[in-house]
């Protein structure tokens, strides 16, 4: 099956095969990794290896904690303002799609506790049609803000920042769920990055957080311990029982990235894949329409429309016959969406491009 799902999404075959081969007997222990104690040496080795691989692949320095947090990126929408929006303070949000809207809405809810406020520093809502990221000049920054929150890639609308807003004295917080580790990235400008694993790095239900130590230290201390990032950091993400099997799979995926040539190689391939699909859209512009402005087109989630919903339904049905799944656009926007995460191969992408060309010709 050729899997273009938006998340949970395709995972590298090598990472899954490794899990299959070790499922019943992990590292010669006679047990599955998910049957091991999270306090035992065998699991701990996997846990520490996952963190070390991430540090190595992404070039994460000693000033930054690598954390595993449960509850999905959605929980982060609430947990971030609870921690970092001080009493009477203010936080800035950039909104260019549905996930930024959700992050904003949860932050607004969190102001009930802090008495703080949340500001929209920039939005490209334009009658609910997010088709681009805001330009730097459009971002009305509050120099006193506790942080500036941005979504690097809007998964539903297919709108991506190719150059993220500049970091200044205000800490930059980024939801990188759907474009984490897709390319070489300098993480040093960010105070806090979070990414649900289920797109580029693993299964769902776990979030990878990269947080500057000094930023974590600013977090509120009057929250229940489980909601404070310092608790997670002080306990190497083992304060309570973590999703051990998910972390094990993340380890396998990170190992696959490393052995495949690291982020530079992944980036090259991801750019080729996106260029192929956008090339097919532009070459058949009277048939396929990308609603996203060219400079904001996502390399991870390519969204496009066909001349009618009926043709879109036929496109999906015929694609399915060729074993291509996961191409239906999000229910809130309709249309077609091809998600091209790291595990989606160039060959799969070419199969889709050939199909797009043939379908447009036939229709
Ligand atoms: N942020 C972005 C950019 C996403 O794409 C998603 C899910 O697709 C989320 C947040 C929410 O993630 P979760 O469902 O794991 O809470």
Q: pLDDT of 265-304, one tens digit each?
A: 999 999 999 999 999 999 999 999 999 999 999 999 999 9
Nearest atom within ligand 1 for CA of residue 74: 16
182: Cβ–Cβ under 8 A, 6 or more apart, which residues?
Answer: 200, 266, 267, 270, 299, 300, 341, 342
- Site to substitute for ligand 1 among 9, 68, 69, 72, most atoms within 8 A of C-beta: 72
- Site to substitute for ligand 1 among 196, 205, 206, most atoms within 8 A of C-beta: 196
Please work out whether the CB of residue 7 comes within 6 Å of at least one atom of ligand 1. Answer: yes
* Residues recognised as catalytic: 99, 175, 199
- Site to substitute for ligand 1 among 5, 93, 94, 99, most atoms within 8 A of C-beta: 99
Pair of tokens at residue 194: 């979070």
10: Cβ–Cβ under 8 A, 6 or more apart, which residues?
Answer: 3, 4, 341, 343, 344
Pair of tokens at residue 137: 């000049």
- Considering only CA atoms, which residue is closest to atom 3 of ligand 1? 177
Instruction: Indicate the average pLDDT of the chain.
Output: 97
Model pLDDT, residue 347: 98
pLDDT (mean) for 95-121: 95
117: Cβ–Cβ under 8 A, 6 or more apart, which residues?
Answer: 89, 90, 91, 111
Name the band, by pLDDT with cuts 50, 70 and 90, for residue 128.
Answer: low
Model pLDDT, residue 114: 84
Please work out whether the CB of residue 73 comes within 6 Å of at least one atom of ligand 1. Answer: yes
Q: 357 CA distance to ligand 1 centroid (A)?
A: 31
CB crowding 186-223: b at 16 or more within 10 Å, else e: eeeebbbbbbbbbbbbbbbebbbbbbbeebbebbbeeb
**C-alpha–C-alpha distance, residues 319 and 356, integer Å:** 9
Nearest atom within ligand 1 for CA of residue 196: 15
Model pLDDT, residue 219: 97
**C-alpha–C-alpha distance, residues 332 and 311, integer Å:** 18
Q: Give the bridge partners for 193, in sequence order.
A: 174, 210
pLDDT (mean) for 249-270: 98
Which uninterrupted H or E stretch holds 121?
strand 117-123
Phi, psi at 209, each rounded to 5°: -120, 135
pLDDT (mean) for 247-270: 98
Please work out whether the CB of residue 288 comes within 6 Å of at least one atom of ligand 1. Answer: no
Q: What residues form the annotated binding site? A: 39, 73-74, 99, 155, 175, 198, 240-241
Integer angstrom CA distances of residue 202 from 37, 60, 73, 133, 343: 21, 19, 14, 27, 10
Domains within the chain, CATH numbers bracketed: 13-259 (3.40.640.10), 262-362 (3.90.1150.10)
**C-alpha–C-alpha distance, residues 3 and 317, integer Å:** 14
Which uninterrupted H or E stretch holds 212?
strand 206-212
Q: What residues form the annotated binding site for L-glutamate? A: 39
Over its C-alpha atoms, the chain yields an Rg (Å, rounded) of: 21
pLDDT in tens, 134-189: 999 999 999 999 999 999 999 999 999 999 998 899 999 999 999 999 999 999 99
Give yes or no for a contact between 197 and 171, defined as CB atoms under 8 angstroms apart: no
Q: 171 by DSSP, 3-state: which?
A: coil
DSSP character string of 333-363 = T-SEEEE--TTS-HHHHHHHHHHHHHHHHH-
pLDDT in tens, 194-230: 999 999 999 999 999 999 999 999 999 999 999 999 9
CB crowding 317-337: b at 16 or more within 10 Å, else e: eebeeeebebbbbbeebebbb
Model pLDDT, residue 224: 97
Please work out whether the CB of residue 158 comes within 6 Å of at least one atom of ligand 1. Answer: no
Integer angstrom CA distances of residue 54 from 233, 257, 344: 15, 10, 20
- Considering only CA atoms, which residue is closest to atom 15 of ligand 1? 72
CB atoms within 10 A of CB 260: 14
Q: Is the pLDDT of residue 127 over 90?
A: no
pLDDT in tens, 314-334: 999 999 999 999 999 999 999
Q: Is the pLDDT of residue 84 over 80?
A: yes
Q: 362 CA distance to ligand 1 centroid (A)?
A: 36
Q: Is the pLDDT of residue 113 over 90?
A: no
């Amino acid at each position: 099956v050729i899997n273009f799902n938006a998340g949970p999404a395709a995972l590298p075959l090598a990472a899954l095969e490794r899990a299959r081969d070790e499922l019943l007997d992990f590292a010669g222990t006679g047990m599955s990794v998910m049957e091991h104690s999270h306090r035992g040496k065998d699991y701990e080795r996997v846990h520490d290896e996952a963190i070390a691989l991430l540090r190595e692949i992404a070039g994460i320095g000693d000033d930054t904690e690598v954390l595993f947090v449960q509850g999905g990126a959605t929980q982060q929408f609430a947990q971030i303002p609870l921690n970092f929006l001080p009493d009477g303070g203010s936080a800035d949000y950039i909104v260019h799609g549905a996930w930024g809207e959700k992050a904003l809405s949860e932050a607004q809810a969190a102001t009930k506790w802090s008495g703080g406020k949340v500001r929209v520093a920039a939005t490209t809502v334009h009658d609910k049609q997010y088709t681009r990221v805001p330009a730097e000049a459009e971002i009305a920054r509050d120099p006193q803000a506790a942080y500036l929150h941005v979504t690097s890639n809007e998964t539903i609308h297919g709108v991506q920042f190719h150059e993220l807003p500049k970091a200044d004295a205000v800490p930059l917080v980024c939801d990188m769920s759907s474009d984490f580790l897709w390319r070489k990235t300098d993480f040093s400008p960010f105070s806090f990055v979070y990414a649900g694993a289920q797109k580029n790095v693993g299964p769902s239900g776990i979030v990878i957080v990269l947080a500057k130590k000094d930023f974590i230290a600013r977090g509120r201390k009057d929250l229940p311990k489980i909601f404070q990032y310092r608790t997670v950091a002080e306990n190497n993400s083992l304060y309570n029982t973590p999703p051990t099997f998910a972390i094990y799979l993340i380890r396998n995926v990170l190992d696959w990235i490393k052995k495949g040539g690291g982020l530079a190689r992944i980036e090259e391939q991801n750019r080729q894949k996106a260029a192929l699909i956008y090339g097919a859209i532009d070459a058949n512009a009277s048939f396929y329409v990308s609603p996203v402005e060219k400079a904001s087109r996502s390399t991870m989630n390519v969204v496009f429309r066909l001349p009618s919903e009926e043709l879109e339904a036929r496109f999906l049905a015929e694609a399915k016959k060729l074993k291509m799944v996961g191409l239906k656009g999000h229910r809130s926007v309709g249309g077609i969406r091809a998600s091209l995460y790291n595990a989606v191969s160039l060959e799969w992408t070419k199969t889709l491009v050939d199909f797009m060309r043939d379908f447009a010709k036939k229709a």
